[in-house]
């Protein structure tokens, strides 16, 4: 019986191809979700993050779900979203000013509460568990200034 082991030239070819494939998939996800468009306007430095960050948060942005791979937080300057290290290849950390959140709605589905935010001029939909937004609700309510709707249209 033949053995299926990789060595030598085959291994040298597979590793770079796997890395290229991973980079391509990450680029595709950032494009499909709308993260790339948000990064044009709201990209920030990783050193510029708020003190109170929550690890391994989930969110749905556009057509893409980011399950347990985001760091999320906020301060008076805005909402901060940062993917874990492997995803940062094509997903820049974001700081979205509270004034760029056009609408906000909290809904319950069975036993789960979610917050949906419409972001930026394109009204990109960000859906997160309400527990992730609990400490940020005060910033969101203060940043409304009559411009943010509390119901989505």
Would residue 70 count as lying in a domain? yes
Provide the number of structural domains found in the chain: 1
Whichever domain contains 108, its CATH number is 2.30.29.30
Q: What is the model's pLDDT at position 146? A: 47
Would residue 129 count as lying in a domain? yes
Q: Are 98 and 142 in contact (CB under 8 A)?
A: yes
Q: What is the model's pLDDT at position 65? A: 94
List the beta bridge partners of residue 25. none
Domain range for residue 86? 33-142
Would residue 110 count as lying in a domain? yes
Stated pTM of the model: 0.81
pLDDT averaged over 10-residue windows placed end to end, the chain, 153 residues? 61 86 92 94 85 89 93 92 89 93 90 92 92 86 58 52
Q: What is the model's pLDDT at position 5? A: 61
H or E stretch covering 16: helix 9-33
Would residue 9 count as lying in a domain? no
Gap between the Cα atoms of 113 and 94, Å rounded: 24
Q: What is the model's pLDDT at position 72? A: 93
Q: What is the model's pLDDT at position 10? A: 74
Q: What is the model's pLDDT at position 142? A: 72
Would residue 112 count as lying in a domain? yes
CA Rg, the chain, in Å?
19
Would residue 98 count as lying in a domain? yes
């Amino acid at each position: 019986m033949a053995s299926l082991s990789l060595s030598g030239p085959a291994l040298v070819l597979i590793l770079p191809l796997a890395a290229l494939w991973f980079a391509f998939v990450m680029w595709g996800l950032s494009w499909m979700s709308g993260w790339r468009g948000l990064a044009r306007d709201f990209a920030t430095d990783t050193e510029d993050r708020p003190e109170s960050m929550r690890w391994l948060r989930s969110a749905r942005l556009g057509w893409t779900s980011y399950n347990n791979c985001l760091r999320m937080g906020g301060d008076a300057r805005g909402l901060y979203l940062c993917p874990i290290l492997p995803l940062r290849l094509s997903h820049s950390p974001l700081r979205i000013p509270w004034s760029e959140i056009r609408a906000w709605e909290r809904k319950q589905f069975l036993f789960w509460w979610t917050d949906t935010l419409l972001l930026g001029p394109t009204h990109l939909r960000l859906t997160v568990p309400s527990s992730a937004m609990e400490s940020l609700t005060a910033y969101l309510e203060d940043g409304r200034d009559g411009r943010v709707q509390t119901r989505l249209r």
